[in-house]
A and B are shown apart, each in its own frame.
Chain A
């Protein structure tokens, strides 16, 4: 993008709520099941069926609102009317002019604040698969509809048009995803469609100009696609304007393969959704006590949790860029409590963070299930030199397999105990006696031979010896 142009970006994120059942009926909210098995008269839109609002979905929506610093207010549901085969009733029940959450914000890791206009509840549609080359409804031979997703609860989070770069948009989605996961509202799986992003993009000559005409980009299935699509779209709009043409307000489809956006429909063809108040539901008026109860169940949000780990590093002077990446990883995987407890148990913060971000992270689910006491004990053994890094990793793997246990006992079972100071000294002595020439050269000051002896000990112990301990024993023996 040429330097004098400025971008304006607003994002709409649809998030599937992690409820057991759907928004308006008792059908399982489950991804990946046999098509049309999680359905009932309600989510199939059968005549005579009526919606009943899922209380848990409301609580998760309020949790999102709380996490995004929104005002939670009395709200209503409307009908959004349009014909489409995967829409069981040919209308979607959605909050419209009275959403449950309004006027919040989200702070990016670098401190940039993005306004949240609203976060409202609505139901998902079914899923249509069009046979034929195009993969779109036009020109397909036939279409298959799966209503398992019909009625799955969604919250649509609409940002203010506050972002100015594709990087900010990426950071926003990454951070929002972390917040949704941390609040327990969503599993944040973009690849499974449980989080879907639409981007509104416009350009202007300078940041002081009024907003230009925007286009909405759909079908963004990853953070990477989002960034690429925004940059492509901004370039397209700039090229249009520089060529003396005008940007037409459109909805555009991101083609991941071709790396371009294509027009779906323009404003003139936009549907008239004929919104009106859903007469089958009553207003939703959460009282202060309910709102407070939901807020009380909300844990720490990612930003706060990252800051907590960075504080530990700062004390040790270790908040480097690569450490910050590790911090993001442990928070993202929900392993930050392990780091905090290890440091509290006397383990150095650099070691605690590195082991958690690199090793524990390889099986985050098992690590989250681990009794943190065992984890702290393990890191303490490594920090004290009783276990080598390699041994510590092997014990951790065993802790994962067993779902916990006593690290010292596991180390003994694995024969790691042989590496106590006495046996190490004996191993070193054995190596020295077997190679008298090398030993006398080492004693004469040829320090390179320390590596030779260490190698012998490592070989004899199949790599289980602590290299530092071997070196220190060699130095002690030389005197």
Chain B
């Protein structure tokens, strides 16, 4: 498999009329046809809709109009982004048969930029998981080794980009759900600052933590996609009403004079091969002119516990609406309460039920202060801890995930071990800060490793600027062969 062509280049060719959007699309549909069976990145491939969009893009170019910065670029959408008239399942049985009557803001913005919506990607049910194994429709496999998980919860989006099914994809990141699968699949994934990308039309998991962000094969492509989807949206009250950071113009500015802090807490508990790659990335940044020092933010170690109180608390409320009354699955029973119970018992999977029960408990009278409110206090402490670090450093560096991709089924019966996959990504969600995972070589098992760059609110420009240097100095990673490690 050849190195993927950047979306930026594709869009330039399509806008210039040198390549047709239809051809670009067919190339990717052929890749899906060839590889999807072994990967299962998609819940639905929307070939017809994408072809319709591609023809419209080509017609625009022929008529002398500019179809936009993503002209003719196929984009895969995580299946928790509402698409008008196209099934949006959150990989849950409970939304079976539901067709959203509206598009998410990001979907509208992609279409306006000339992108082609190629399909809806698999995910952990309601984005609850770190391996895409909690999907009601079966697991997605890692294109680098189909016996391994792609990470999660946006595993389908990460795998689709890694497998060359689409140059770009959108995911959502509540506790690491973009960055961790990006790392495990060897692609770039960014969680933007909370409020920079509209959540309107993103099916909520934990509203105060959820944020939509890009997957791409390069830092520049991730910047391009973020540039298209970001910006104020009056339909989302938590959307920031200020200009989004300029990201495309700063990509080549380098790291000379910047201070990069290696976050020591993130190195504790990470596998030795992962730690080695982080150290290597730090050295590369130092060689490129950055001042590199070790930084400690002790509060981040509290992140995982706080997250597993706040996120389930909000989720227990967000998921209450799946009651069988208005849409999705209804399991009939003798009265309304029995119908609600039967619907939810059969419609939700085990992980979702676990988190709803946990969340209901932590919000209950008598427990709220000890759990939920305590977690909110921890959240404030994490923000304060980061603020001290950012007083000295422009960005922080650490691993994205503690290990490379693990085997399918390895952690499904051990939720707490599974939850640890997100220990390095959760603090950014709690703080509302941006963070990006950039591929940086492979581990002892030959599987991709991602290093993570973290910054304060609205530092996307700086993060992408540093990420471009990391990318340029990264050791080569074998392209995915879409084969099983066990068979090899």
Binding site for B on A (CB under 8 A): 41, 44-53, 79, 81, 83, 85, 88-91, 137-138, 143, 145, 272, 274, 276, 279-282
Whether A89 contacts B321 by the Cβ 8 Å rule is yes
> Contact check: which of A44, A45, A47, A85 meets B336 at CB < 8 Å?
A85
> Contact check: which of A47, A89, A138, A143 meets B88 at CB < 8 Å?
A47
Given contacts A83-B340, A85-B325, A272-B365, A41 and B317 within 8 Å (CB-CB): no
A44 to B314, CA, bound (A): 19
A45 to B199, CA, bound (A): 15
> Contact check: which of A91, A272, A280 meets B238 at CB < 8 Å?
A280
Asked whether any CB of chain A lies closer than 8 Å to the CB of B3, the reply is no
Stretch among B138-146, B203-211, B298-306, B402-410 lining the A interface: B203-211
Contacts of B365 in A (CB 8 A): 272, 274
Q: Which chain A residue shows the least CB distance to B101?
A: A41
Contacts of A45 in B (CB 8 A): 321, 326
Whether A53 contacts B326 by the Cβ 8 Å rule is no
Which residues of B in the span 316-353 have a Cβ within 8 Å of any Cβ on A? Answer: 316-317, 320-321, 323, 325-327, 335-337, 340
> Contact check: which of A41, A89, A145 meets B102 at CB < 8 Å?
A41
Most buried by B among A44, A51, A52, A53: A52
Whether B237 contacts A280 by the Cβ 8 Å rule is yes
Asked whether any CB of chain A lies closer than 8 Å to the CB of B243, the reply is no
Whether A276 contacts B320 by the Cβ 8 Å rule is no
> Contact check: which of B207, B323, B326, B360 meets A280 at CB < 8 Å?
B207
Whether A138 contacts B335 by the Cβ 8 Å rule is yes
Whether A47 contacts B317 by the Cβ 8 Å rule is no
Asked whether any CB of chain A lies closer than 8 Å to the CB of B90, the reply is yes
Beyond the given A48-B202, A81-B316, please list 7 additional residue pairs across the A-B interface where CB-CB is below 8 A. A48-B80, A90-B323, A274-B360, A276-B313, A276-B314, A279-B238, A282-B237
A161 to B325, CA, bound (A): 39
A143 to B325, CA, bound (A): 11
Contacts of B203 in A (CB 8 A): 47-48
Query: Could you show 9 A-B contacts with beta carbons less than 8 Å apart?
Result: A45-B321, A46-B102, A46-B327, A48-B81, A85-B325, A90-B321, A272-B365, A274-B317, A274-B360
Q: Which chain B residue shows the least CB distance to A282?
A: B237
Whether A50 contacts B360 by the Cβ 8 Å rule is no
Given contacts A138-B335, A272-B364, A280-B207, A50 and B323 within 8 Å (CB-CB): no
Chain A interface SS verdict (over half): loop
Whether B326 contacts A48 by the Cβ 8 Å rule is no
> Contact check: which of A48, A81, A88 meets B104 at CB < 8 Å?
A48
Query: Which 9 pairs of residues, A with B, have the shortest CB-CB distance?
Result: A90-B320, A279-B208, A279-B207, A274-B363, A47-B203, A48-B82, A48-B201, A45-B321, A48-B203
Whether B235 contacts A52 by the Cβ 8 Å rule is yes
Whether A50 contacts B325 by the Cβ 8 Å rule is no
Which residues of B in the span 177-196 have a Cβ within 8 Å of any Cβ on A? Answer: none
> Contact check: which of B234, B337, B340, B364 meets A52 at CB < 8 Å?
B234
> Contact check: which of A48, A81, A138 meets B200 at CB < 8 Å?
A48
Whether B100 contacts A47 by the Cβ 8 Å rule is yes
> Contact check: which of A48, A88, A89 meets B100 at CB < 8 Å?
A48
Q: How far is the CB of A131 from chain B (nearest CB, A)?
A: 13
Q: How far is the CB of A402 from chain B (nearest CB, A)?
A: 46
Asked whether any CB of chain A lies closer than 8 Å to the CB of B95, the reply is yes
A274 to B201, CA, bound (A): 25
Most buried by B among A137, A145, A279: A279
Whether A276 contacts B95 by the Cβ 8 Å rule is no
Whether B363 contacts A88 by the Cβ 8 Å rule is no
Q: Which chain A residue shows the least CB distance to B94?
A: A47
A52 to B238, CA, bound (A): 9
Contacts of A41 in B (CB 8 A): 100-102
Whether A53 contacts B237 by the Cβ 8 Å rule is yes
A45 to B101, CA, bound (A): 12
> Contact check: which of B90, B236, B238, B363 meets A47 at CB < 8 Å?
B90
Q: How far is the CB of A408 from chain B (nearest CB, A)?
A: 57
A154 to B284, CA, bound (A): 60
A279 to B325, CA, bound (A): 24
A278 to B202, CA, bound (A): 17
Whether B204 contacts A48 by the Cβ 8 Å rule is yes
Contacts of A46 in B (CB 8 A): 100-102, 326-327
Asked whether any CB of chain A lies closer than 8 Å to the CB of B386, the reply is no
Contacts of A143 in B (CB 8 A): 336
Given contacts A48-B202, A90-B323, A138-B335, A282 and B101 within 8 Å (CB-CB): no
Contacts of A79 in B (CB 8 A): 317
Asked whether any CB of chain A lies closer than 8 Å to the CB of B372, the reply is yes
Which residues of B in the span 81-119 have a Cβ within 8 Å of any Cβ on A? Answer: 81-82, 88, 90, 95, 98, 100-102, 104
Contacts of A138 in B (CB 8 A): 335
Whether A50 contacts B321 by the Cβ 8 Å rule is no
A145 to B104, CA, bound (A): 27
Q: Which chain A residue shows the least CB distance to B209?
A: A279
Given contacts A45-B326, A88-B326, A145-B325, A50 and B235 within 8 Å (CB-CB): yes
Contacts of B235 in A (CB 8 A): 50, 52
A44 to B320, CA, bound (A): 13
Most buried by B among A44, A49, A91, A276: A276
Contacts of A44 in B (CB 8 A): 326
Contacts of A279 in B (CB 8 A): 206-208, 238, 314
Given contacts A81-B317, A83-B323, A50 and B82 within 8 Å (CB-CB): no
Contacts of B207 in A (CB 8 A): 279-280
Which residues of B in the span 47-102 have a Cβ within 8 Å of any Cβ on A? Answer: 80-82, 88, 90, 95, 98, 100-102
Most buried by A among B317, B340, B364, B365: B317
Q: Which chain A residue shows the least CB distance to B201?
A: A48
A10 to B81, CA, bound (A): 47
A85 to B326, CA, bound (A): 9
Q: How far is the CB of B336 from chain A (nearest CB, A)?
A: 6
Whether B363 contacts A81 by the Cβ 8 Å rule is yes
Q: Which chain B residue shows the least CB distance to A143?
A: B336
A51 to B318, CA, bound (A): 13
Whether B200 contacts A50 by the Cβ 8 Å rule is yes
Q: Which chain B residue shows the least CB distance to A278?
A: B207
Contacts of A281 in B (CB 8 A): 237-238
A41 to B201, CA, bound (A): 10
Q: Mark B353-386, 1 if CB is under 8 A from A, else 0.
A: 0000000100111001000100000000000000
Q: Mark B148-173, 1 if CB is under 8 A from A, else 0.
A: 00000000000000000000000000
Whether B201 contacts A91 by the Cβ 8 Å rule is no
Q: Which chain B residue shows the least CB distance to A270?
A: B365
A81 to B199, CA, bound (A): 22
Whether A83 contacts B320 by the Cβ 8 Å rule is yes
Q: How far is the CB of A35 from chain B (nearest CB, A)?
A: 14
Q: How far is the CB of B414 from chain A (nearest CB, A)?
A: 29
Q: How far is the CB of B251 from chain A (nearest CB, A)?
A: 32
A287 to B221, CA, bound (A): 43
Contacts of B104 in A (CB 8 A): 48
Whether B95 contacts A47 by the Cβ 8 Å rule is yes
